[in-house]
Amino acid sequence: MRFLGGRGYLQSPGWLPHSGTDHPALFASYWPLERAGQVTSAAWTVVKRGPAQNASGTQTIHGTSPPAGVKWHYYDLWAGEELSPQSLALDVEDDGYGGLLATTNSTSDDPELAALLKTMSAFAAKPLASFDPTWLFELGAMVEPPAAPASSIPQGMVKIPGGKYRFAVSGSMIEGAGSSYNDIGRGVDVQFSWEPRPNRFHSQYLWLKPYYIDITPVTQAAFAAYLSKQGEKALPTDRYHYLMNWDWDGGPLPKPKSGRSEAAVFIQFTAIPSPSF
């Protein structure tokens, strides 16, 4: 999914939620890429709900022919192998998943695709049905950031006195049960240090130490100065929507959209005390 999303398939305006298949338990979604009104490549994401009713090898997707004058290579993204255009059957196991990619790219001129197919081929060697279906989840452990005490009030910041604070938040995800704090649920969301397990609901009284906070949010002008000094080192690994909604006139407007790791590097660069970030 990351591969398809990174190439724009999952943002396709031509997305078709239900694409035809020849299997009653096989459901496919169609994600085309277009240029000048013509489909240049396409992907299908597949899920199979229920037991097989046809023999293996007959689970095909409809509408996979390329436009006139275009030659496509077809790849089974789940099995990690190239398919013959004359036989586009996907062998999807019961309650399993699949993916089909139709593209003009070959593995010889697309190293990223070649690497994905190699990885998926290794993963698919073990069928999903061979895994233990028992639901398990990992317990979490918080890692406290190092304290950064300040002997005086940093420039542009104000001191907030410590005290009792009620921390209460709930996750917005729809999966995972956990309808209340006491409901074990399915291990969704995070686990804070006072909690016995991950849960969507968190509520606890905390005692905060005195801390400093900026009087105003970080401005675009301040962040632009940081970028000009740091150069390539300041760029995040994931640049999707990086500097989205940026006002290129600069000035006092708040900087939009910062990831946690990006903000942490900025704090270190500016030597802002961060006893708990």
On the question of pLDDT at 263 being above 50, the answer is yes
Clarify whether residues 116 and 174 are in a common domain.
Answer: no
Give the chain's mean pLDDT: 82
- Provide mean pLDDT across the span 68-81: 92
Residue 157 in any domain: the answer is no
Q: Clarify whether residues 264 and 229 are in a common domain.
A: yes
Q: What is the pLDDT of residue 178?
A: 55
Each residue's pLDDT tens digit, 142-181: 887 777 677 777 778 888 998 999 999 887 776 665 555 5
Count other Cβ atoms within 10 Å, centred on residue 32: 19
C-alpha torsion angle, residues 109, 113, 117, 123 (rounded to 10): 150
Least confident residue range of 74-78, 252-256, 264-268, 273-277: 273-277
Please indicate, yes or no, whether residues 13 and 111 belong to a single structural domain of this protein: yes
Q: 7 and 119 share a domain?
A: yes
- Write out 167-187 in H/E/C secondary structure: EEEECCCCCCCCCCCCCCCCC
Let me know whether 173 and 258 are in one domain.
no
Confirm whether 147 is domain-assigned: no
Confirm whether 28 is domain-assigned: yes
Same domain? 92 vs 203: no
Q: Are residues 29 and 100 in the same domain?
A: yes
For residue range 220-232, what is the model confidence (pLDDT) as tens digits? 888 888 888 887 7
pTM: 0.59
Q: Do 107 and 167 fall into the same domain?
A: no
- Provide the pLDDT for residue 55: 40
User: How many distinct structural domains can be found in the chain?
Assistant: 3
* Residue 257: inside a domain: yes
Of the candidates 58, 48, 4, 53, the one whose C-alpha atom is nearest the C-alpha of residue 28 is 48
pLDDT above 80 (res 64): yes
Distance separating alpha carbons of residues 268 and 53, to the nearest angstrom: 59
Average pLDDT of 82-90?
A: 86
Tell me: the pLDDT tens digits for 195-245? 888 888 888 999 998 888 888 888 888 888 888 888 777 777 777 777 777
**Picking from 48-62, 104-118, 209-223, which range would have the lowest pLDDT averaged per residue?**
48-62
Task: Return the pLDDT at 276.
Answer: 42
What is the Cα–Cα distance from 201 to 138, expressed in whole angstroms?
17
73 plus 175 within the same structural domain:
no
- Compute the distance between CA of residue 198 and CA of residue 184 in angstroms, rounded to an integer: 8
Indicate if 31 and 124 belong to the same structural domain. yes
The single residue listed with the structure tokens 């190092």 is 146
> Which residue segment(s) compose the domain that 227 sits in?
216-270
Q: Is residue 150 part of a domain?
A: no
Specify the pLDDT at position 211.
86
- Percent residues over pLDDT 70 in the chain: 84
> Is the separation of the CB atoms in 160 and 211 below 8 Å?
yes
pLDDT at position 275: 44
Q: Do the domain assignments include residue 140?
A: no
One domain, residues 204 and 226:
no
Look at residue 202 and tell me if it is in a domain: yes
Does 266 reside within a domain? yes
pLDDT for 57 equals 44
Q: Is the pLDDT at 7 greater than 80, yes or no? A: yes
Q: Are residues 38 and 62 in the same domain?
A: yes
% of the chain exceeding 90 in pLDDT: 32
* DSSP per-residue string spanning the chain: -HHHHHTTGGG-TT-EEEE-BSSTTEEEEEEEEEETTEEEEEEEEEEE-S---S-TT---BS--PPPTT---EEEETTTTEEEBTTB----PPTT-EEEEEEES--TTT-HHHHHHHHHHHHHHTS-GGGS------PPP---PPPP---SSPPTTEEEE--EEEEEEEE---SSS---STT--TTS-SB--TT-SS-BSEEEEEEEEPPEEEESSPPBHHHHHHHHHHHGGGGS-S--TTTTTT--TT-SSSBPP---HHHHHHHHHHHT---S--
pLDDT at 78: 95
Give me the amino acid identity at 248: W
